[in-house]
């Protein structure tokens, strides 16, 4: 039996032991027992833990604690940001700009808004997955109320020029929403210098627990959005619901660790990525997807000619990774991100996303390269000439 | 074209990985009858069907001697079900009378591989490739001068 290897850190990361310790502590005693909204002494203790985490998460992205709203994760943050900002500002305009390679949480939110009468402009990136700032500028209209672009694309790992787009949006007096689920802890994120008005975060992408995320709302430019939920006053009424103290406490510690370890993590993961990439690209007719330099440290996305995608993934099943494709058994539909980049369907369907993380090792990378080379060679030999 | 509509709603939605039955995994990992046939007795016939657009590209080689399929090999580009079905079809046909190339119904393999209904088209391509082998044999039989016998 080949060793099982985890290379899907872009999908989710393991909970750091220090995070788990903080969560365990937050589940016990009065902090664990109390509702943070309660006004008695136990509730105040729980609220104190929530406030501490809010400071930690805010510090990670250069925000003020009061600008952080807790959510269930980046998907909810994206939904709240896009639909909430658009609906709240509908009197100012009905045009929104996004890209064709956004996360479904953004694209599906945009679709919902289209059904409500909003107009969307979907920008196609260049062949390397990068969004051209000039193209964004051309897409902006007088009635554009929101631009939504992810910092790091979750499939390709490419980094978008957020600071430039932020400057453009400020000049145009348009809100900028950024999904930073893949970038926080891997790239510097600073909402002030990058002029970001709304920022989506997810704990489980940065060694925190699943089920907790956050939305940054700039206090001056986007103080309110239309909520998705109703029925409580928590989070200024923007996201009502009892706060999960233990998850929030875990997110806070994960944010602290991300800030403290980012430099070492990036150096180490970049070296592993280069090792992995060299091994994968040494196999003939393997092509890297995405910009070769303008990308985050943890993702390698490749297309493999001459093999069928499902068999490629099956041959590599001891490695936990994601396909670069959306090849459904039913639909056979390849990834629209790779299609947008101009990859033909047969190549988009035979694409893999490897993503590395804090616990990845050089031995795992070597074993993955060996499994990849063996599988690709075998499948090519198996195919008709 | 910098502005466009998304090709579908979910830009990078992906389904959970398909979980394959043991019968499929065993034949995918170590397929019997894979690869081209070496030299041997009898006459060699080949047949190929499908293509990338069909999700399977499959080719069979069969060596016929004394009216029987004495050796059969396949090459397949396709999903694990396609590889397993090609291998299983070859297993079934090895040693059969040559007429089996034209009569074998790969759909009978579906329950053995727990084949999802949407993958049945792959079996039809396997059937086409085997029928193509049969036609090649038939043509050779009717045109004896064109039959080439390979060395034992």
What's residue A75's pLDDT?
A: 97
Q: Above 60 in pLDDT, residue A340?
A: yes
Q: Above 80 in pLDDT, residue A196?
A: yes
What's residue B2's pLDDT?
A: 56
C-alpha–C-alpha distance, residues A213 and A8, integer Å: 19
Which of A343, A365, A366 is closest to A287 using CA atoms?
A343
Per-residue pLDDT of chain B (152 residues; tens, 9 = 90+): 456 555 443 334 344 446 899 999 999 999 999 988 888 888 999 999 999 889 999 999 999 999 999 999 999 999 999 999 999 999 999 999 999 999 999 999 999 999 999 999 999 999 999 999 999 999 988 775 544 444 33
What's residue B152's pLDDT?
A: 35
ipTM of the complex: 0.85
Kindly state whether B55 is in contact with chain A, defined as any CB-CB distance less than 8 angstroms: yes
Q: Above 50 in pLDDT, residue A16?
A: yes
Which of A292, A303, A299, A302 is closest to A270 using CA atoms?
A299
Kindly state whether B4 is in contact with chain A, defined as any CB-CB distance less than 8 angstroms: yes
The percentage of chain A sitting over the pLDDT mark of 90, rounded to a whole number, equals: 91
Within 10 angstroms of residue A349's Cβ, the number of other Cβ atoms is 28
In angstroms, what separates the C-alpha of A242 from chain B's closest C-alpha? 30
Kindly state whether A15 is in contact with chain B, defined as any CB-CB distance less than 8 angstroms: no
Which of B94, B61, B54 is closest to B77 using CA atoms?
B54
Q: Which helix (H) or strand (E) holds A352?
A: strand A351-355
Under the banding of pLDDT at 50, 70 and 90, the label for residue A178 is very high
Could you tell me which residue, A115 or A348, shows the higher pLDDT? A115
Q: What are phi and psi of A140, to 5 degrees?
A: -70, 140
Residue A327 annotated as catalytic = yes
Segment A155-183 mean pLDDT:
97
Considering only alpha carbons, which residue of chain A is nearest residue B31? Answer: A382
Considering only alpha carbons, which residue of chain B is nearest residue A382? Answer: B75
Q: Is the CB of residue A347 less than 8 Å from the CB of residue A285?
A: no
Long-range pairs of A17-21 with CB within 8 A, sequence gap ≥ 24: A18/A253, A18/A257, A19/A207, A19/A208, A19/A209, A19/A250, A19/A253, A19/A254, A19/A257, A20/A250
pTM of the model: 0.90
Q: Beta strands A286-288 and A299-304: pairing type?
A: antiparallel
The residues with which B149 forms a beta bridge, in sequence order, are: B43
Query: Which chain A residues in 119-148 lie under 8 Å from chain B, judged by CB atoms?
Result: 121-124, 132, 135, 138-139
What's residue A336's pLDDT?
A: 83
What's residue A214's pLDDT?
A: 98
Structure tokens belonging to residue A355: 């993503």
What's residue A328's pLDDT?
A: 36
The helix/strand count (H/E) of chain B reads as 5, 4
Strand order in the sheet with B68-78: B43-51, B56-65, B68-78
What's residue A31's pLDDT?
A: 87
Segment A155-174 mean pLDDT:
97
- What pLDDT digit, counting tens, does each position of A200-256 carry? 999 999 999 999 999 999 999 998 999 999 998 899 999 999 999 999 999 999 999
Contact A333 B8 (CB under 8 A): yes
Q: Which one of A149, A301, A382, A383 makes the best mutation probe of the B interface by having the most chain B beta carbons within 10 Å? A: A382
Kindly state whether B79 is in contact with chain A, defined as any CB-CB distance less than 8 angstroms: yes
What's residue B7's pLDDT?
A: 47
| pLDDT averaged over every residue in chain A | 94
Structure tokens belonging to residue A125: 């990136």
């Amino acid at each position: 039996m080949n060793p099982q290897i985890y290379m899907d850190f872009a999908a989710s990361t393991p909970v750091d032991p220090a995070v788990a310790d903080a969560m365990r502590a937050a589940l016990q005693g009065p902090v664990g027992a109390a509702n943070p909204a309660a006004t008695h002494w136990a509730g105040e203790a729980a609220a104190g833990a929530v406030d501490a985490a809010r400071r930690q998460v805010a510090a990670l992205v250069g925000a003020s604690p009061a600008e952080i709203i807790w959510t269930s994760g980046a998907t909810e943050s994206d939904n709240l940001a896009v639909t909430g900002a658009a609906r709240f500002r509908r009197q100012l305009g009905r045009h929104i700009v996004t890209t064709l390679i956004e996360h479904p949480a953004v694209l599906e939110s945009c679709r919902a808004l289209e059904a409500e009468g909003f107009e969307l402009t979907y920008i196609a990136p260049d062949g390397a997955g990068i969004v051209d700032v000039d193209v964004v500028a051309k897409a902006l209209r007088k009635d554009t109320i929101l631009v939504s672009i992810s910092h790091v694309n979750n499939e390709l790992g490419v980094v978008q020029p957020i600071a430039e787009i932020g400057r453009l949006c400020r000049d145009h007096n348009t809100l900028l929403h950024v999904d930073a689920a893949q970038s926080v802890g891997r790239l510097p994120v600073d909402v002030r210098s990058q002029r970001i008005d709304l920022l989506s975060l997810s704990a489980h992408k940065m060694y925190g627990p699943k089920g907790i995320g956050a939305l940054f709302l700039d206090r001056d430019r986007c103080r309110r959005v239309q909520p998705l939920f109703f029925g409580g006053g928590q989070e200024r009424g923007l996201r009502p619901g009892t706060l999960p103290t233990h998850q929030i406490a875990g997110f806070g510690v994960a944010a602290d660790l991300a800030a403290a370890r980012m430099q070492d993590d990036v150096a180490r993961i970049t070296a592993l990525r280069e090792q992995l990439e060299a091994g994968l690209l040494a196999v003939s007719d393997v092509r890297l997807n995405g910009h070769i330099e303008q990308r985050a440290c943890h993702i390698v996305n490749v297309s493999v000619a001459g093999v069928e995608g499902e068999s490629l993934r099956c041959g590599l099943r001891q490695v936990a990774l994601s396909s670069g494709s959306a090849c459904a058994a039913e639909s056979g539909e390849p990834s629209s991100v790779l299609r947008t980049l101009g990859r033909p369907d047969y190549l988009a369907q035979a694409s893999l996303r490897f993503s590395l993380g804090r616990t990845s090792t050089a031995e795992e990378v070597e074993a993955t390269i060996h499994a990849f080379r063996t599988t690709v060679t075998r499948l090519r030999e198996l195919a008709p000439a | 074209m910098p502005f466009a509509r998304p090709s579908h709603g979910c830009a990078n939605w992906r389904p959970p990985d398909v979980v394959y039955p043991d019968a499929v995994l065993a034949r995918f990992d170590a397929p019997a009858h894979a690869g081209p046939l070496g030299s041997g007795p009898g006459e060699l016939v080949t047949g190929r069907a499908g293509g990338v657009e069909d999700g399977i590209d499959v080719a069979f080689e069969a060596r016929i001697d004394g009216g029987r399929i004495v050796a059969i090999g396949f090459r397949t580009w396709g999903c694990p079900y396609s590889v397993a079905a090609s291998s299983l079809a070859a297993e079934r046909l090895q040693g059969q009378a040559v007429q089996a190339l034209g009569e074998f119904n790969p759909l009978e393999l579906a329950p053995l591989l727990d084949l999802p209904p949407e993958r049945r088209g792959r079996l039809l391509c396997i059937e086409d490739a085997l029928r193509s082998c049969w036609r090649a044999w038939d043509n050779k039989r009717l045109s004896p001068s064109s039959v080439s016998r390979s060395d034992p």
